[in-house]
Chain A
């Protein structure tokens, strides 16, 4: 028990939450270690935000327990709020307040924490300190939200879709900021539906679908789950159906699936597998109309687990 408290930043057991007749979280168990950057991944409606808002103490679960930093919401809510940092989806700060005024306000809620100055520097908002919120770009507003989450110097940080709606440059800036926070030893729990973001930032990810965790591990482990690090995608112009069993029997080919009108094979060694695939398709009289390969991503993991794209919904 003692050692678990030492190492575990977040511990969820049997978490369940339904809104009216929609089950948002359906029996969730999760352990996040201190110092980890953990990603909750999944399509919209998978239950990521509900899960994270229960962890933040904003939503009461129907069943299950949540323990953060060895504390829980029923008894130590005030203490917990002092120790965590929160960035919610779509918070709009008052447009007529200045950046430093917003941060001074949020800093005043915490007993200890960074100085307003430090939080401005961390979020790279130095040039915007006296600008009104209404005059900030989307990326700057998001960095202000991050600064508000950081100003209490939290050990545990919750980021709910931190880069949704940002342009690529602003996303990369925010990723750099998260990297810096990881280096300073904070535990970070973030939700995203961008696979590249999860691969880039997270030590471990949990893939969620319909309120459950369907896969859990490091991005590498998850990609290894589908059997190969490479994905071969092709389409053929033949009227006769493809013999997929023959293809999966080829050396280095691990699995076959049909996805979005394309045949997909997960493959471990491209240089040996691809000639074999060409030969087999020629033998089956399947003339290729498209052929491409890419390194397997978490997106492929999700597709192979659910048969759906992440952003289908």
Chain B
């Protein structure tokens, strides 16, 4: 046996790895789930080519005139059918031929309907001989970094770092305590810090794979930008994972049963899923809540990761979220060590 493989820290860490990779569900939740979530969200919130809007006309002349515009698809309907389709949302605008005029029926609170009405009006005017007085040209822009997928990838990354760190530590420690393995370990000459250290080490190693796979996927499939220094992004991910590991350690430091521990973990994570700006910006919450929201570790983590990836911010511009995460790390870790129940 070489000296490395006979060292207890190595063995403890290796043991964590084996247990992790022999748990197919854990591998799924940590590696595959965030990918599926990113794909799902990117489909739901994809930036579609400008929609062709559905409209209706009561005469074939109107319909023809409307169809002349590429932005519209028009069908000919009598007025009663048209009103029904309008109510069902099958068409956005109904153009009804009146003696000497055309009346548009549409919902003016629906932006799409207003757009369709404007295009339809324009198309009818053109068909009846109106000409543009000023020549205009269109240039379409789809900027990477401003899309929803760009916003949500750092959010998902932060969320995944949080749940994997908290679950990995919390679950394993409470299980070991419940099965009296912790007690057996402290009856042996195992250095206690190494037991906790092995969790951090194995987290960091799994993190490399976890973050690497996710970000590579986001880059290759969605073209998510990396505007900040990659090494700083790496350090931010490590800091995030360590902070949440410390939080997980604290949550698991006393609980004697899995039920108690998972209740505690969900209670801790749920507010952050909602408040910390994973799926939508945290600034949507009321002003009074903002100081609290920004003191949460997940908000800090996501702010820092977004700042790095999307805005290309430097550490010096991310001091506040970094300080928040360091604070959580130090407080949780020292508290956890003090109150940790080994048996």
Contacts and interface: CB of A to CB of B under 8 A. Distances in A.
A52 B188 CA distance: 15
Given A96-B19, A96-B23, A97-B18, A109 B183 contact: no
Interface stretch (B7-15, B98-106, B261-269): B7-15
B131 interface: no
A86 B10 CA distance: 23
Interface string B1-34: 0000011101110010011001100000000000
A101 interface: yes
B189 A105 contact: no
B290 to A, nearest CB: 44
Interface string A100-144: 010011111111000000000000000000000000000000000
Contacts of A81: 187-189
Contacts of A90: 180
Given A88-B183, A92-B179, A92-B180, A109 B190 contact: yes
A130 to B, nearest CB: 13
Contact of B187 (A86, A105, A111): A86
Given A96-B22, A96-B23, A105 B15 contact: yes
**Chain A: interface residue count, which band?**
20 to 34
Contacts of A91: 179-181, 183-184
Nearest to A77: B189
Contacts of B18: 96-97, 101
A58 B186 contact: yes
A164 interface: no
Interface string B152-180: 00000000000000000000000010011
Contacts of B176: 94
A105 B12 contact: yes
B193 to A, nearest CB: 13
Contacts of B7: 108
Contacts of B187: 56-58, 81, 86, 88
A219 B314 CA distance: 77
Contacts of B188: 81, 86, 106, 109-110, 148, 152
Contact of A82 (B12, B180, B181, B189): B189
A78 interface: yes
A93 interface: yes
B343 interface: yes
Contact of A108 (B6, B180, B186): B6
Nearest to A59: B343
Interface of B: 6-8, 10-12, 15, 18-19, 22-23, 176, 179-181, 183-184, 186-190, 343
Interface of A: 56-58, 78, 81-82, 86, 88-94, 96-97, 101, 104-111, 148, 152
Q: Nearest 10 CB-CB pairs, A to B?
A: A92-B179, A81-B189, A108-B11, A108-B8, A96-B22, A91-B184, A86-B187, A109-B190, A109-B188, A105-B11
Given A81-B187, A105-B15, A110-B188, 6 more contacts: A82-B189, A91-B180, A92-B179, A96-B18, A101-B15, A109-B8
